[in-house]
Chains A and B, each alone.
Chain A
Amino acid sequence: MLEFLFKYPGTVFTKGNLVLLGAWPVWALMALILAGAALLAMASWRMRARATSGMRGTRMVTLWLLQSSLLALVLLLLWQPAISVATLKPQQNIVAVVLDDSRSMSLSEDGRTRKDQAIEALNKGVIEQLGRKFQLRLYRFSSGLERIEKLDQVTAQGNATRIGENLAQVAAESATLPIGAIVLASDGADNTGGVDLETVSLLRRHRIPVHTIGVGREKFQKDIEITDVQVAPRALADSRLSAQVTLKHRGYSQAKARLTVKSDSAVLASQEITLKAEGALQSESVVFNAGTAGVKNLQVAAEPLTGEENPNNNSVVRLVNVENRKPRILYIEGEPKWELKFIRRAVEEDRTLQLATILRTTQNKIYRQGISNPAEMEQGFPSKVDDLFAFQGIIIGGVEAGYFTATQMELLKQFVDRRGGGMLFLAGRGGLQEGGWGKSAMADVMPVVLADRKGTFHRDPAYVELTQAGRESLICRLEESPEKNAERWKKLPYLADYQETGTPKPGAIVLADALPSSKGRLPLLITQHYGRGRVGVFATQGSWRWQMLQPLADKSHEMFWQQLLRWLVQDTPGRVIASTPKPVLADETRVPMRAEIRDRNYLPMSDAKVSANILGPQGVAGQVEMRPDPLVPGTYLADWRADKPGAYVAEVLAKRGEEEAGRDVVNFRREDGIAENFGAEQNRELLEKLAAETGGKYYRVSDLAKLPAEISYSEAGITIREIKDLWNMPAVFFLIVLLRAGEWLLRRRWGVV
């Protein structure tokens, strides 16, 4: 209809420029329009006196506007308006028809695969018509681009969809070939996150329009898809881990689904969830035990539901390196107290953690436990960086800040900030504000602004209640279900004492509150990150009652302390930290690797020689030298190509001269044939945007009739400019009639005809 009214396809108007072919200047047209409008206005004004009352005011202005518009239109037509548009010269240009050959195109919808839908649509005259006007080049693409002779060479077995990379390759051919346009038939399910700006600007520079044909359903009718799983890449043995699972679904609102975490077919966790609104991203956390040391291939899955169209997007694999290390924690306590005994007992139940304690038994004596040799800390708290930084975590019990020398205080601060260690402050007569920590150098590090007064420590009972953050936190997770967990905390025996901490700092997270009978609600367990490390405050020394006042079989006390202390040390780095942002390569080969190297003082080491020795499947072995990152001191980068699918392990070794600075291991895994299972709905938004950005147009696979005609209007390749007259458009005629008829109808309505 629109094309009938305006005579030309919409593409002509969007791509062309309006020109006036008449010999007279444009200013003359404008002047005549203004003069005509003025004359009509004067005529109307003169007639005002003789006009009936019904024809004054707004009505007269309306009639004047209609008359002036008609005059302007007629004058415009005298100046011969036309559209100037670039058009591909027939038979001299190439049109590239690029078909998606990835596996997502093999999904069957209404009995036909997406690939078949695309080929059938193109074969219904599109290819033939294009072939009459242009030279055609056929391509298929998945992870790479390949030229084909016939459409039936498309098999839809490719492992990836990389639209951007492959379009860039086609565009690059335009340097030697007159490519006038690209026709891309795809579901748009790109695995690289979309078409990058570089590719779009390349296409725009070559002025190649990309006409996209959207294949496949924009929305599945019934499907669950796991879109992402976040899990810590490293863990201590027997740690609790949380997998943050993001999923979405179609057609299962309020249905129950089951999330599972498996490792080598052993189920580590199974959790029922209720699916929320359709299409919206839903986040769930599944808690599980990391188990014994070793690299774990975790399969996180949503069990398929009845009638699901694409069950292949229900699970993802993540790697977790369960480390065999045993972090050491140094706990200094200012006076004998039951808390120390029961913390020690809780840690003794943990195969991973090691606890060394310094206890001030009398004014002049200390008692050490958990030391590695008789001489360790014989003189008391460490004063040397090597001695202190050998630990991964520190607990400051009820000991006054003044007990530490200035050197020790500075080391404590650097332990968190630079070393990246964890530090936990406990309450007590000499703890927190009572010990002067609020005015010490460590005040900056602490997650609370300590109350500036004495008398903050109370030997009175206080119950504990988790905050919302505490319910989700692994530190406080005594039960798998957050609701049951919160209830269990409420049933814990009261603490023997508590301490007023002051105000939590911005960025600090309060995980639990103390509820003493007389003081309302006070922050009890507060954590925050500081520098490279972590700091926490647990404002009591009376959690031992959880052990003594509950049955022997109850493990609340042990679990809490083990989880708190694991949090304290789990992320404390060594001098070498190796990592990769892509531990699981889904149909990819490039592995970016990164290593942070620190010296003995944990300052960035920029003069190290860093190499990665890699072992892979089927005897793959290699070594890659890592180059310093000029932007980040102490950071080294390298890329590795994983040519074969399977598990890889890379040991990163750092040396300064002949001295070894340290080593670390990073694991990664190449998995083939999985990327295409995800994001398999037609990404219409991507295809429309790509077409719009490059001057092309998006077509449905069922509506390609106009494609052969519209593709001609392009500025790429070999073009001519065509002039398209506008004066004889039916729309102009109808507009003239409309203006005159409108005036007449209004006059009749107002009774002045």
Chain B
Amino acid sequence: MRLRSVILALGALVALMSIGYALQRGRMLFDEDDAPIPIPPDANEKTEYAFARLRYPSFRGGSSMWSMRGNWTVDYPKADRQFVQGVRRLTRIHTRSMEEVVDLESDAVFNFPWIYAVEPGHWDLPDHQCKKLREYLLRGGFLMTDDFHGTFEWDIFTASMNRVFPDRPIVEIENKDAIFHVLYDLDERFQVPGIIMFYTGRTYEYDGVEPRWRAIYDDKGRIMVAICHNMDLGDAWEWADHPRYPERYASLAFRVGINYIIYAMTH
């Protein structure tokens, strides 16, 4: 009897966690996520800029649910393709319609001076990848991180990032920084939620109540790593075309992303 109760309790816990995880990922409400994304007709066009998504090894410690899938794929590829449509329409950047997936195992990443890492609160970079990322950034590469929340994911993020740059602090980006003005003036920023808000009614996740716009700078005062903590710009790009996703969040997410690209192309 006692054993059965324990088993039932555990079963219920697993079921609840599975539902929660599914909700977090929007599987139930936004099931278009699983629809096949067509390859754009001009996917192979040679362009100046391509949205480069970083493929990284996921964190295997703690709860086993983080091992269920590669976190680098979150919002992929719809967010990428939808975002670059905005880049094409709103700027003069010659932009490819299809994303590029890069990793830190080969040198191909050096061909893409701007890379995007989603959910780095789940990454676990081995030492040789930390070393390569450091070299990439110091040569002039730019990393945008997004969609990780709260203290626990922050700690996982910094566990790897501190091995990339043990000697450089992560600091808050000041409003006057060029990255918030290079195209759009982004003095008024707010938390951009993921679609989880439709279930929770909150724009934040875990204890990540306050959106944090942080960065790691190089010796010349240029941002190498732009860290969007406690927000989910990727979801905003992905669901910008959904009638239920508020325009103000999508709009800010696009502006931030575009500013970050142009900043990376000018600094």
Q: Give A contacts to B, CB under 8 Å.
A: 334-338, 340-342, 344-345, 348, 357, 359-363, 365, 367, 369, 429, 459-460, 496, 541, 544-545, 547-552
Residues of B contacting A551 in the complex (Cβ-Cβ under 8 angstroms): 135
Which residues 74-107 of B have a CB within 8 angstroms of A? 90-94, 107
Contact of A341 among B47, B91, B135, B264 (CB under 8 A): B264
* CB-defined contacts of B107 to chain A, threshold 8 Å: 549
Contact B110 A367 (CB under 8 A): no
Q: Considering the complex, which residues of chain B in the window 111-126 have a beta carbon less than 8 Å from any beta carbon of chain A?
A: 111, 113
Q: Find out whether the CB atom of A348 lies under 8 angstroms from the CB atom of B139.
A: no
Please state if A459 and B182 are interface contacts (CB–CB under 8 Å).
no
A-chain residues with CB within 8 Å of residue B262 when the two chains form the complex: 336, 361, 367
Verify B110–A548 contact, CB threshold 8 A.
Answer: yes
Contact with A along B166-196 (1 / 0, CB 8 A): 0000000000000000110000000000000
**In the assembled complex, B138 has its CB within 8 A of some CB on chain A:** yes
B182 touches A367 (CB 8 A): yes
Say whether B182 contacts A337, CB under 8 Å. Answer: no
8 nearest A-B pairs in the assembled complex, by CB-CB distance: A459-B46, A335-B92, A336-B265, A548-B110, A336-B93, A361-B183, A552-B138, A337-B48
Whether B266 pairs with A362 at a CB distance below 8 angstroms is: no
Q: Is the Cβ of A552 less than 8 Å from the Cβ of B139?
A: yes
A570 to B136, CA, bound (A): 33
For the complex formed, measure the closest distance between the CB of A355 and the CB atoms of chain B, giving whole angstroms: 12
What is the CB-to-nearest-CB distance from B18 to chain A, in angstroms, rounded to a whole number? 43
On B, residues with C-beta under 8 Å from A are: 46-49, 90-94, 107, 110-111, 113, 135-136, 138-141, 182-183, 220, 261-262, 264-267
> Given A367-B182, A429-B94, does the pair A548, B141 have CB atoms closer than 8 Å?
yes
5 residue pairs A–B, Cβ–Cβ below 8 Å: A336-B92, A460-B46, A541-B48, A547-B140, A548-B139
Q: Which residues of B contact A429 (CB under 8 A)?
A: 94
One of A341, A362, A544, A550 near B92 (C-beta < 8 A): A362
> Is A548 a contact of B113 with CB atoms below 8 Å?
yes
Nearest neighbor of B92 in chain A, beta-carbon distance:
A335
Which chain B residues border A460 with CB–CB below 8 Å?
46
Q: Which of A335, A357, A365, A548 touches B48 (beta carbons < 8 Å)?
A: A335
Q: How many A-B contacts at CB < 8 Å in the complex?
A: 81
State in angstroms the CA–CA spacing of A113 and B261 once bound together: 79
Contacts of B139 in A (CB 8 A): 547-548, 550, 552
Are B48 and A361 within 8 A (Cβ)? no
- A356 to chain B minimum Cβ distance, whole angstroms, is 13
Chain B residues with CB below 8 A from A545, complex form = 110-111
A459 with B47: CB separation less than 8 A: yes
In the complex, how many angstroms separate the beta carbon of A429 from the nearest chain B beta carbon?
6
Q: Indicate if the CB atoms of A338 and B92 lie closer than 8 Å.
A: no
- Our pick among A348, A359, A541, A544 for the contact of B266 (Cβ within 8 Å) is A359
Q: Would A340 and B267 count as touching, CB distance under 8 A?
A: no
Contacts of B92 in A (CB 8 A): 334-336, 360-363
Please give me the residue from chain B that is nearest to A357 by CB atom: B266
Indicate if the CB atoms of A340 and B266 lie closer than 8 Å: yes
| CA distance in complex: A552, B138 (Å) | 7
Pair A336/B48 contact, Cβ less than 8 Å: yes
Kindly provide the distance from the CB of B104 to the nearest chain A CB, expressed in whole angstroms: 14
Return the chain A residue nearest B47 by Cβ. Answer: A459
Q: Which residues of B contact A359 (CB under 8 A)?
A: 266
A344–B221 Cα distance when bound, in Å, is 14
Given contacts A348-B220, A361-B183, A365-B183, contact A338 B113 (CB under 8 A): yes
A334-B136 Cα distance, complex, nearest whole Å:
27
CB distance from A52 to the nearest CB of B (A): 101
Task: Report the bound CA distance from A338 to B136 in whole Å.
Answer: 15
Q: Which residue of A lies closest to B134 (CB)?
A: A552
A460 to B220, CA, bound (A): 32
Nearest B residue to A496, CB-CB? B111
Q: Contact between B182 and A341 (Cβ–Cβ < 8 Å)?
A: no
Contact A548 B140, beta carbon cutoff 8 Å: yes
CB distance from A295 to the nearest CB of B (A): 32
Across the interface, B90 reaches (CB within 8 A) one of A344, A348, A362, namely A362
Minimum CB distance partner of A554 in chain B: B139
Chain B residues with CB below 8 A from A344, complex form: 266-267
Bound complex: CA of A340 vs CA of B182, how far in Å? Answer: 14
For B49, the chain A residues whose CB sits under 8 A away are 336
Query: CA separation between A336 and B135, bound complex, in Å?
Result: 24
Question: In the complex, given contacts A341-B264, A360-B92, what are 20 additional A-B residue pairs having Cβ atoms less than 8 angstroms apart?
Answer: A335-B93, A336-B48, A336-B49, A336-B265, A340-B266, A341-B113, A341-B265, A341-B266, A361-B183, A361-B262, A367-B266, A459-B47, A460-B46, A544-B113, A544-B140, A548-B113, A548-B139, A549-B111, A550-B139, A551-B135
> Which A residues are CB-close (under 8 A) to B113?
338, 341, 544, 548
- Write out the residue numbers on chain B whose beta carbons fall within 8 Å of the beta carbon of A549: 107, 110-111
Q: How far is A367 from B90 in the complex, measured between Cα atoms in Å?
A: 14
Task: Provide the residues of chain B in CB contact with A362, threshold 8 Å.
Answer: 90-92, 183
Q: Which of A338, A340, A357, A496 has the most CB of B within 10 A?
A: A338
Compute how far the CA of A344 lies from the CA of B266 in the bound complex, rounded to whole angstroms.
8
Bound-state CA distance A387–B135 (Å) is: 40
What residues on B are CB-neighbors of A348 within 8 Å? 220
State A348–B107 Cα separation when bound (angstroms): 26
B136 contacts which chain A residues (CB < 8 A)? 548
Contact A367 B183 (CB under 8 A): yes
Task: Report the Cα distance A717→B136, complex, angstroms.
Answer: 90
Q: Give Cα distance in the complex from A541 to B48, angstroms.
A: 10
Chain A contacts of B90 at CB under 8 A? 362
Q: How far is the CB of B226 from chain A (nearest CB, A)?
A: 15
Contacts of A340 in B (CB 8 A): 265-266
Which residues of chain A are within 8 angstroms of B91 by Cβ–Cβ distance? 336, 361-362
Smallest beta-carbon distance A302→chain B, Å: 42
A548 / chain B contacts, CB cutoff of 8 Å: 110-111, 113, 136, 139-141
Shortest distance in angstroms between A380's beta carbon and chain B's nearest beta carbon?
14
Within the assembled complex, what's the spacing in Å between the Cα atoms of A360 and B265?
Answer: 12
Asked if residues A338 and B265 are in contact (CB atoms below 8 Å), the reply is: yes
Instruction: Provide the residues of chain B in CB contact with A341, threshold 8 Å.
Output: 113, 140, 264-267
Contact flag A342-B140 (CB < 8 Å), given A336-B48, A552-B135? yes
Task: For the complex formed, measure the closest distance between the CB of B221 and the CB atoms of chain A, giving whole angstroms.
Answer: 10
Query: In the complex, which of the residues A342, A344, A361, A544 has the most CB atoms of chain B within 10 Å of its own CB atom?
Result: A361
